[in-house]
Amino acid sequence: MRFRTAAIHAGQYPADHQGAVMTPVYQTSTFAFQGVNQPGPFDYSRSGNPTRKALEQCLARLENGIAGFAFATGMAAEATVTMMFSAGDRIIVHSDLYGGTYRLFETVMRDKQVTATYIDLRDLDRVERALAEGARGVWIETPTNPLMNLVDLAAISALARAHGAVTICDNTFLSPYFQNPLDLGIDVALHSTTKYINGHSDVVGGGVVVKDPKLAERIGYLQNAMGTCAGPQDCFLVLRGVKTLAVRMEEHNRNALAIAQWLAGHAKVAAVLHPGLESHPQHALALRQMRGYGGTFSFRVSTDMAGMTRLLESVRVFTLAESLGGVESLIDHPATMTHASIPPDVRARMGITDDLIRLSVGIEDLEDLLDDLKQALDRV
């Protein structure tokens, strides 16, 4: 099956559910045994649930993996994956990343003696040196959140494999529709399914997909042991949302690129960080490893914090809110919102400064979105 067909049908078999075309919500905690010491396909919903199984199979198919896992949140997925590492292990992490991931590494995993070393993963020589020093894993975002830097997945995965390190790629920004990390050699593809995969801002969830059977066994064990799995109602909502992923991503991509091009010519905009623009320093890499650019990008405004506040509070179609990937457009100020948990000096080193805005461009009428940004920028 091709992508659009798989998004609608993979893992969802009416014959397994009394002919139900949409996999039902199996809102049950436990399942009857067939006899003493004879469990059926499911025994307890933390260990497995038919609704969750359908979603996990669908995610695996879309990311071209052999096994998928659905989690209660994106951070639950991240926490479970990090538990593959042991005390004394070091993970190389890109120096520009989501604030929640930074918080996980610095306030949780560091206390468990799992250390994150932050480097620029665009510098392959630096990556190789770090791997040679004994790193056990490489944690990647591409594009990064919120600076939209790209990481060469094929190059990084080859280096890591040569040194026996596990590679994990957060693929949330592009979704499986525009990028498939496993096909480029990455070991673990990770998602906040809250975002594009669900696409309707009505559920939180996470997803992990792998190709290696040993990794699948390990993550499956951790998911069950830690109880980080997604509930059936949430899985149902994500399954419903993913059916329109392909058509939504096309609209997100088209609107976001048009807005980025318009912002690039605006007198009050200092820079636009969008890999689909030829001005992006890694535009060639984007063309090589991505099939589109998604709907999220950032830009810098030539103003002070007072002007930024006026802009953010003036939008009418865009909503000032965290998150991304829904059908509605959101505007975010990373320094005071999504990345506020990062210490100010670290944010400054990353380049997450007060002049930076992140947009999650929805699928509304493009002219309405442009009109909204025009009137908001006029107030700067």
Give me the catalytic one of 4, 46, 254, 310: 46
Q: Please pick, among 52, 53, 96, 98, the residue that the annotation labels catalytic.
A: 98
pTM recorded for the entire structure: 0.96
- Write down the pLDDT at residue 146: 96
Residue 98 a catalytic site member: yes
Known catalytic membership, residue 221: no
User: Which regions of the chain are under pLDDT 50?
Assistant: none
So what's the pLDDT on residue 91? 98
pLDDT confidence of residue 187:
98
The tokens 């040569």 sit on which residue? 162
Cα separation of 170 and 28, whole Å? 31
Q: Which residues contact 373 (CB under 8 A, 6 or more apart)?
A: 259, 262, 263, 315, 318
Can you give the pLDDT at residue 255? 98
CA dist 229 and 12 (Å) reads 19
pLDDT computed for residue 32 by the predictor: 96
- pLDDT for residue 275: 98
Domain ranges of the chain: 3-242, 245-377
Please confirm, yes or no, whether 195 is among the known catalytic residues. Answer: yes
pLDDT at 173: 98
Q: Is 170 a catalytic residue?
A: yes
Confidence at residue 220, expressed as pLDDT on a 0 to 100 scale: 98
Question: pLDDT value at position 226?
Answer: 98
Tell me how far apart the alpha carbons of residues 9 and 13 are, in angstroms, rounded to a whole number: 7
CA distance 218 to 232: 22
* Angle in degrees, 0-180, between the axes of helices 232-242 and 50-62, rounded to the nearest 10: 40
CATH topology agreement for domains 3-242 and 245-377: no
Spatial neighbors of 281 by CB under 8 A, at least 6 apart, are none
How would CATH label the architecture of 245-377?
A: Alpha-Beta Complex (3.90)
Q: Which entry of 52, 61, 90, 195 is annotated as an active-site residue?
A: 195
Determine the topology of domain 3-242 in CATH: Aspartate Aminotransferase; domain 2 (3.40.640)
N-to-C CA span, the chain: 49
Burial of 38 (0-12, 13-18, 19+ CB in 10 A): exposed
Which one of 170, 332, 354, 372 is the catalytic residue?
170
